[in-house]
Amino acid sequence: MIKVNLTGCNSFVKEAEYKNYLGKALEAYDVLSSEKGAGNDFLGWKTLPVDVDEDIISGCEAVRDDWKARGVDLVIVVGIGGSYLGARCAIEALSHSFVHPAGVPKVVFAGNNLSEDYLAELMDLAAQSNTACVVISKSGTTTEPAVAFRIVKEHIEKTYGKQEASARIVAVTDAARGALKTLSTQEGYRTFVVPDNVGGRFSVLTPVGLLPICLAGFDIRAMLKGAADEREALLQRGEDNAAVQYAAMRNLLHSEYGKAVEILVTYSPKLVYLAEWWKQLYGESEGKDGKGIFPASVTNTADLHSMGQFIQEGSRVMFESVIKVEKATREVVIGSDEQNLDCLNYLAGQRVEHCNAMAQLGVRVAHIDGGVPQIELGIEKIDEFWLGAIFYFFEFACGVSAYVLGVNPFNQPGVEAYKKNMFALLRKPGYEAQTEEILKRI
């Protein structure tokens, strides 16, 4: 399963220090396993890979088949944060980068911003498409998705009529509470439940992620299998547990060596949203009480030509965690050229993936020489199974790591601060008292 390689940290840390942090990580592992730590009412994600009801999986497949029968060619998935990033990560990683397959709806996202231009352009696409919508909000009250959904819902109702609209809108929300639940009941939408004991950023293996991923044509059963196999591996307590090792090393680098920034490094544009999902997972779980490692990301080799200079020679505050994909799914071989004006004949007959692998090795040595420790996290390939495995690995390691750091991984109190100000400025009823006060400060 996920392979952790820590040799890129050997020249930075002492063996005894690592052993000490392994001990701390094992204590944190026990807290997570015993379910007695902070936030222990949000641990439903731990058993999702083996708990997910067959009804949920077949329910996702039924929506997919029903919308296919209705000729739907565009699915707008409305959601933000944990109700968005997991699905986007999987769909971006698994989709063909350029060609959209026939017979599968295009899945696009809304409700993750308040950009008017974005929404206007999305509605241009909806106007030319046969459209359906999945609206995802655990609370059912988040402003960004609520605004987007109001606009998408109006379009679907106007275009297909109210009755047909109720078959073209599916909600993923709380089982009993919230405005979205009330609306769904009233309008007769099909609904899927976000379990009470699973927080947004840990919800990719609930219908929050599974439904959009299934609608985009991917195999959610294989994804759950990958997560289940990774869970099985992580159930083995010990110093060779991959999550324990990752948690131990990142906390050691942070606490003893001042490495306050972790850069998740990928070598495929397909994994840009894996990094976005990871940043939310670690940022919201650890960044509190004045603590935490700042999660950043780069996509190489593109970012070697933008961020590479800083990583090589700038402030020495970071370490890298590199997602190492063992094999590409497709093969492209570099040809020979008689004139060789580009002087690339030395690569003739080589696969492009060989160049990518040599770039990774070259960067590894250069960055270590430049003072940047490197953790490697290995997966075999980019497919549903391995994405399931990496989702579960990062979630589990996040729980262990946050407990080593001494914070509650499962709350996000800081997310509320901007909302209060925004509501006051938008003059939401109930926030009148704060409006004048805020206006004076801006």
3-state DSSP of 33-57 = HHCCCCCHHHCHHHHHHHHCCHHHH
Stretch that binds ligand PA5, among 158-166, 197-205, 340-348, 433-441 (CB under 6 A): 197-205
Token digits of residue 141: 């009250």
- Do residues 66 and 222 touch, judged by C-beta distance below 8 A? no
User: What is the smallest separation between the CB atom of 309 and ligand PA5, expressed in angstroms?
Assistant: 33
Residues contacting residue 435 through CB under 8 Å, at least 6 positions apart? 424, 425, 427
Q: Is 288 in the active site?
A: no
Token digits of residue 201: 């950023």
Q: Is 419 in the active site?
A: yes
Q: What are phi and psi of 287, to 5 degrees?
A: -80, 80
Does residue 82 interact with ligand PA5 by CB under 6 A? Answer: yes
Stretch that binds ligand PA5, among 80-88, 91-99, 354-362, 380-388 (CB under 6 A): 80-88
Q: Which of 4, 48, 80, 215 binds ligand PA5 (CB under 6 A)?
A: 80
Q: Which of 49, 195, 200, 388 binds ligand PA5 (CB under 6 A)?
A: 200
Question: Considering beta carbons, is residue 49 or 82 the nearer one to ligand PA5?
Answer: 82
Q: How many residues bind ligand PA5, per CB under 6 A?
A: 14
Q: Looking at 36, 96, 305, 440, which residue is catalytic?
A: 305
Q: How far apart are the first and last CA of the chain?
A: 51
For residue 58, the 8-state DSSP code is H
User: What is the smallest separation between the CB atom of 32 and ligand PA5, expressed in angstroms?
Assistant: 18
- Do residues 272 and 299 touch, judged by C-beta distance below 8 A? yes
Does residue 209 interact with ligand PA5 by CB under 6 A? Answer: no
Stretch that binds ligand PA5, among 90-98, 193-201, 334-342, 356-364 (CB under 6 A): 193-201
User: What is the smallest separation between the CB atom of 109 and ligand PA5, expressed in angstroms?
Assistant: 13
Does residue 284 interact with ligand PA5 by CB under 6 A? Answer: yes
How remote is the C-alpha of 272 from its chain's centroid?
10
Please tell me the distance from the alpha carbon of residue 70 to that of residue 55, in angstroms, as a whole number. Answer: 22
Please tell me the distance from the alpha carbon of residue 337 to that of residue 411, in angstroms, as a whole number. Answer: 58
Q: Looking at 419, 420, 432, 437, which residue is catalytic?
A: 419
- Do residues 211 and 170 touch, judged by C-beta distance below 8 A? yes
User: What is the smallest separation between the CB atom of 44 and ligand PA5, expressed in angstroms?
Assistant: 13
Question: Considering beta carbons, is residue 381 or 419 the nearer one to ligand PA5?
Answer: 419
- Do residues 382 and 94 touch, judged by C-beta distance below 8 A? yes
In DSSP terms, 320 is beta-bridged to 263, 374
Q: Looking at 92, 284, 286, 376, which residue is catalytic?
A: 284
Q: Is 254 in the active site?
A: no
User: What is the smallest separation between the CB atom of 157 and ligand PA5, expressed in angstroms?
Assistant: 22
User: What is the smallest separation between the CB atom of 280 and ligand PA5, expressed in angstroms?
Assistant: 6
Does residue 81 interact with ligand PA5 by CB under 6 A? Answer: yes
Please tell me the distance from the alpha carbon of residue 68 to that of residue 279, in angstroms, as a whole number. Answer: 34
Question: Considering beta carbons, is residue 199 or 388 the nearer one to ligand PA5?
Answer: 199
* Sign of the alpha-carbon dihedral angle for 256, 399, 327, 99: negative
Does residue 399 interact with ligand PA5 by CB under 6 A? Answer: no
Stretch that binds ligand PA5, among 75-83, 227-235, 243-251, 365-373 (CB under 6 A): 75-83
Does residue 199 interact with ligand PA5 by CB under 6 A? Answer: yes
Q: Beta strand pairing status for 374-379 and 3-5?
A: antiparallel
User: What is the smallest separation between the CB atom of 25 and ligand PA5, expressed in angstroms?
Assistant: 23
User: What is the smallest separation between the CB atom of 377 and ligand PA5, expressed in angstroms?
Assistant: 22
- Do residues 374 and 381 touch, judged by C-beta distance below 8 A? no
- In the numeric block, the tokens 């998408």 are attached to 152
Q: Which of 32, 48, 83, 271 binds ligand PA5 (CB under 6 A)?
A: 83
Please tell me the distance from the alpha carbon of residue 271 to that of residue 323, in angstroms, as a whole number. Answer: 9
Interface map 122-151 toward ligand PA5 (x if CB under 6 A): ---------------xxx--x--x------
Token digits of residue 210: 């599974």
Q: Which residues bind ligand PA5 (CB under 6 A)?
A: 80-83, 137-139, 142, 145, 199-201, 284, 412
Supply the residues annotated as catalytic: 284, 305, 419
